[in-house]
Amino acid sequence: MSFSSPASLLDVELEPGRPPVLRVEGGDPQAWATEHRDGLRAVVAEHGSVLVRGLGLADAAEFSLVLRRLVTGLMTEKESFAPRQPYPGGIYSSTKWPANQPMCMHHELSYALEFPGLMAFACMSAPTSGGATAVADASTVLDALPRELVERFEREGWLLTRTYNDEIGASFAEAFGTEDRSAVESYCRTHAIDFEWQPDGGLRTRQRRSAVVRHPVTGQACWFNQIAFLNEWTLAPEVREYLVDVYGEDGLPFNTRFGDGAPIGEDVVALLNDVYAANTAREPWQGGDLMLVDNIRCAHSREPYTGPREVLVGMADLRRLADCAPTVDVTL
């Protein structure tokens, strides 16, 4: 296979309900990645994602070296909503999230002004059951949503509200990478985030973002956000009740609203999650697997699981919201 192999020359398995799968036969993962970089990236450009099976990634260091042969640059995460463990080489653990709770479909950092264009996942240890990193095509999801609802989000965008504390989710120091309040304030001002310090030292923020963007390469319109995932109604009922009881409805660690500030009803969240479910493609992890996902073209999720699961994450190919034809002014 030549270095410039097009996607059509890679033997990719395409089946309904599964992401594209490319099977390889061992060898040196770094050499394979160098040789097939262009072909692999072409598969992602054509299909939105690909699962590479048989590469045999052994550890975080090898994943980092392989990833650097496939991407133009790795990102440092900012504005995280839950802690991750960083590894040398610019990669991270998966977000810490209860194994019995799903992480619903979302686009990574779609509430930020800068976000990864490409997500990379490497399975170091597959769970006993469940735990797939599933994907859903964002253009297909957009077309399946009621036009009236889409038009409202196109006009208004969506609003993310966050209340940082030291008990639930990422603290403001973890999210912004500093305990310096002035540095946090400066970041918020330059990234269109309203902020308010609380008497107890906590931080509350609000930011408006576009719910629909255009892919900067293909021009495809994509449903690109975390409206459902970070909404209170996606939480398990007992979890939501506990958080509301402890923090109050206005003090939830995170929540989403329509861009004008109106609450998003449970029915809307259920509709969004149902459309995602109807368009989900999944493949169970095997140890050593590599998965690449176009973060604008495809949403991804993490399904509940049993047994140990270790999936590492790399964020690459920085994109800016301003380059994706946002439909709303992000300032509040």
List the domains of the chain with CATH numbers.
140-274 (3.60.130.10)
Q: Look at residues 266, 314, 323, 264 and name the one whose alpha carbon lies nearest to residue 124.
A: 314
Give the tens place of pLDDT for each residue, 240-264. Answer: 999 999 988 888 999 999 999 999 9
CA distance 238 to 87: 34
Quick check: helix, strand or coil at residue 162? strand
| pLDDT for residue 315 is more than 70 | yes
Residue 328: pLDDT band with limits 50, 70, 90: very high
| pLDDT for residue 82 is more than 90 | no
CA distance 164 to 53: 39
| pLDDT for residue 8 is more than 70 | no
Alpha-carbon distances, residue 245 vs 240, 249, 251, 256, 257 (angstroms): 8, 8, 10, 18, 20
Q: Look at residues 226, 230, 194 and name the one whose alpha carbon lies nearest to residue 213.
A: 226
CA distance 117 to 176: 20
| pLDDT for residue 169 is more than 90 | no
Quick check: helix, strand or coil at residue 18? coil
Give the tens place of pLDDT for each residue, 108-149. Answer: 999 999 999 999 999 999 999 999 999 999 999 999 999 999
Residue 95: pLDDT band with limits 50, 70, 90: confident
What DSSP line would sit under 95-148, residue for residue? PP--TTS-EEEE-TTTTSSEEEEEEEEEEEE--SEE----EEEHHHHHHHS-HH
pLDDT higher at 208 or 27: 208
| pLDDT for residue 61 is more than 60 | yes
Angle (nearest 5°) at CA 198 between 195 and 204 = 35
CA distance 164 to 172: 6
CA distance 300 to 317: 17
| pLDDT for residue 4 is more than 70 | no
pTM: 0.94
Give the tens place of pLDDT for each residue, 188-197. Answer: 999 999 999 9
